[in-house]
Structure 1
Amino acid sequence: MKCLLAAIGLSLALPALAQSPLSFEQYVQSLQQEALAQGIRPQTLTASFADVHFIERAVKHDRSQPEHKLTLDEYLPKAVPAWKIKQAKGLYRQHQALLTRIGAQYGVAPRFIVALWGIETNFGKLTGGFPLISSLTTLAYEGRREAFFKQQLFAALQIIDEGHIPAEQMIGSWAGAMGQVQFMPTSFLSYAQDGDGDGRKDLWHSQADVFASAANYLHQVGWQANQTWGRAVQPPKGLDPALLGLEQQRSLAQWQALGVRNAWGGPLPKADMHASLIQPDDGAGRSYLVYDNYRALMHWNRSHYFALAVSTLADAIVAP
């Protein structure tokens, strides 16, 4: 086992570190004992921690905050550019048979599977370059969110122990998100699927596993097969701000009566559906009525910008 930074070096490099009183190497040994007690096999631990090391960059990422927040009008063209729409359409056609099978199995429209794939990792091209056992061990040792990252670390060890991915191939984001749909290890254990029937759940290399896992996630968190995500709308001037937000739901007829209209100023659909009115930029920009499937996307990532990027790309995939 290689330990790149001793405890004294850590405190010099990161003076505000809320680390364990143990050295990094001692902390790793304590983690291994906990993992053994949880049933992880010794050979899995030997392989997983063979080259474990402290990654200072992971700590810096965890502590950094974006300095400038884009507006939705600025963000969406960057997140869903024309080239990404073109690629999404092509990949949708290329994998149509597989997507149709998986979409029918889980009750999820295939365009949303492709859109999630595109927004999360640019269709599997950007999956992260951090060795996850080292990164998660680092973030647990750092201490600011120790319980959370220990939970993710033990889940990652279970994934390796079950034979889904060799330890040296478990690469992902600095925070532990893995594979082409960027599941955290605990989400992997809850939602990942063996879409190709080979006995493994491989979110790094198997397209069938990637698509089935994304679809299963949405299905499990409440996706409605007969609905879309929502629509852009025009609210009336002076609408009570208390009506805004995902916690507020009304029928489309009620929103119509309150003066909400579709994006072109016309009436809302006459459908027996409930929706929430959201304004991600606090009334300064776009407005949307969103349905249960939007809530499922928000369960995946608690960001309106993320959910709207996925929704925008999904709509573009089937647009003429």
Structure 2
Amino acid sequence: MEILTFVLFISVGFALGASDRSFQEWLKGVRREAREAGVSEAVMGRAFRDLKPIPRVIELDRSQPEFKLTFQQYLDRMVTRKTVWDGRQRYREHKDLLNEIFRQYGVEPQYIVALWGIETRYGKITGGYPVIDVLATLAYDGRRSKFFRAELIRALKILEEGHIDVADMDGSWAGAMGQVQFMPSSFVTYAVDQDGDGRRDIWDNVPDALASAANYLSKSGWKPEQGWGGEVALPVGFDAEISDKIVKPLKEWRAMGLSGKGVEGDPDCLAHLVKPDHNSGRVFLVYPNYQVILKWNRSNYFAIAVGTLADRIAVQ
């Protein structure tokens, strides 16, 4: 492991060493593109002041985890007694706001609070990386330069529009921003000014952050009152393939002998089986809203954690 870490350090150091010689030239091209997109010299001056690639960001982007969490380990880490308790507290604290958001966007409060909790522990852990520096680092690095360059231009536009100051524009090492961890492209498409102050502030403004999350789910196809699914027990000898390609109404799954929370919804609701890993043996029957959560994050672990936390938060 020490040798691997050393090699990775040398690799990252070499890449950034090369960038030190040409980074400013590369940045000139970004400036031209940003200028064409309507970003002012004043904003670019503030955003690019003392800008340098961040070696740790490259390391995180390239490295593989030492081990992969099992589904149960992930769920136990993300949905703890404290996470549930804090979620219920936030639900009660923001009940009027959440009900207003539900009426406006059709997304139940517990799902908004659950996403908030899974993403940033209700706004407590947002990443702490300077987003402009992160996006510039990843755009220059070359592995996914086109994607991150476009995100960088969008981030500059967000600054130009005055939604946040560059010093306060923090996020994850991958550039996801604020309390609901939107990439700049998601911000542009889904962020809303819920409190009407003229800014879409997903960093420090809870109404804006939560309404933006609801807007994302709503525009992605969320169906109110449908739920997301739940765990099921399979009958002895069950031999149907567990695949998202096999979709049946809940009444047919029940007729096949499945039982548990996952079959308790609308009998005509279409659903498919998900087995998040082969270690736990746990199986879930999930509905179309589950696919909406996957649009937010393409991970079965993540989507089931959000649904599980939402269910537990809803039990006040």
Q: Structure 2 CA distance, aligned partners of 1:21 and 1:304? A: 40
Q: Residue 117 of structure 2 aligns to a residue in which SS?
A: helix
The partner residue of 2:275 within 275, 279, 287 is 279
How many percent of aligned residue pairs carry the same amino acid? 46
Give me the TM-score of the superposition, normalised by structure 1.
Answer: 0.90
Q: 1:51 to 1:263 in 2, by over 3 A?
A: same
Q: 1:16 to 1:207 in 2, by over 3 A?
A: closer
1:105 aligns with 2:93: no
Q: 1:304 to 1:18 in 2, by over 3 A?
A: farther
Q: Does structure 2 retain, via aligned residues, the 8 Å contact 1:152–1:186?
A: yes
Q: Does structure 2 retain, via aligned residues, the 8 Å contact 1:18–1:144?
A: no
Q: Structure 1 CA distance, aligned partners of 2:261 and 2:296? A: 26
Within a 5 Å distance, the mapping from 1:1-320 to structure 2 comes to 14-15=13-14, 23-240=22-239, 242=241, 244-262=242-260, 271-282=267-278, 284-319=280-315
Gapped runs of 5+ residues in structure 2?
1-8
Q: Residue 136 of structure 1 aligns to a residue in which SS?
A: helix
Q: Residue 27 of structure 1 aligns to a residue in which SS?
A: helix
**Over residues 170-193 of structure 1, what are the superposed CA-to-partner deviations in whole Å (9 max), with x where a residue is unaligned?**
111111000000000000001001
Report the count of equivalent residues: 308
**Over residues 72-129 of structure 1, what are the superposed CA-to-partner deviations in whole Å (9 max), with x where a residue is unaligned?**
2222121111011111111110110111101111000001111100110000000011
**Over residues 24-47 of structure 1, what are the superposed CA-to-partner deviations in whole Å (9 max), with x where a residue is unaligned?**
111111111111122222221111
Runs of 4+ with >6 A deviation? 16-22
Q: Does structure 1 retain, via aligned residues, the 8 Å contact 2:229–2:261?
A: no
Bigger helix fraction: 2
Q: Structure 1 CA distance, aligned partners of 2:194 and 2:228? A: 25
After TM superposition, give the deviation of residue 281 of structure 1 in Å: 0.7
Q: Does structure 2 retain, via aligned residues, the 8 Å contact 1:20–1:143?
A: no
Q: Residue 261 of structure 1 aligns to a residue in which SS?
A: coil
After TM superposition, give the deviation of residue 167 of structure 1 in Å: 1.5
Match of residue 5 from structure 1: none
Q: Structure 2 CA distance, aligned partners of 1:99 and 1:270? A: 25
Amino acid at match of 1:222: G
Q: Structure 2 CA distance, aligned partners of 1:43 and 1:87? A: 41
Q: Structure 1 CA distance, aligned partners of 2:256 and 2:151? A: 45
Q: Structure 2 CA distance, aligned partners of 1:261 and 1:307? A: 21
- RMSD of the alignment, in Å? 2.2
Give me the TM-score of the superposition, normalised by structure 2.
Answer: 0.91
Q: Residue 232 of structure 1 aligns to a residue in which SS?
A: strand
Gapped runs of 5+ residues in structure 1?
1-9
Amino acid at match of 1:180: Q
Q: Residue 14 of structure 1 aligns to a residue in which SS?
A: helix
After TM superposition, give the deviation of residue 259 of structure 1 in Å: 2.9
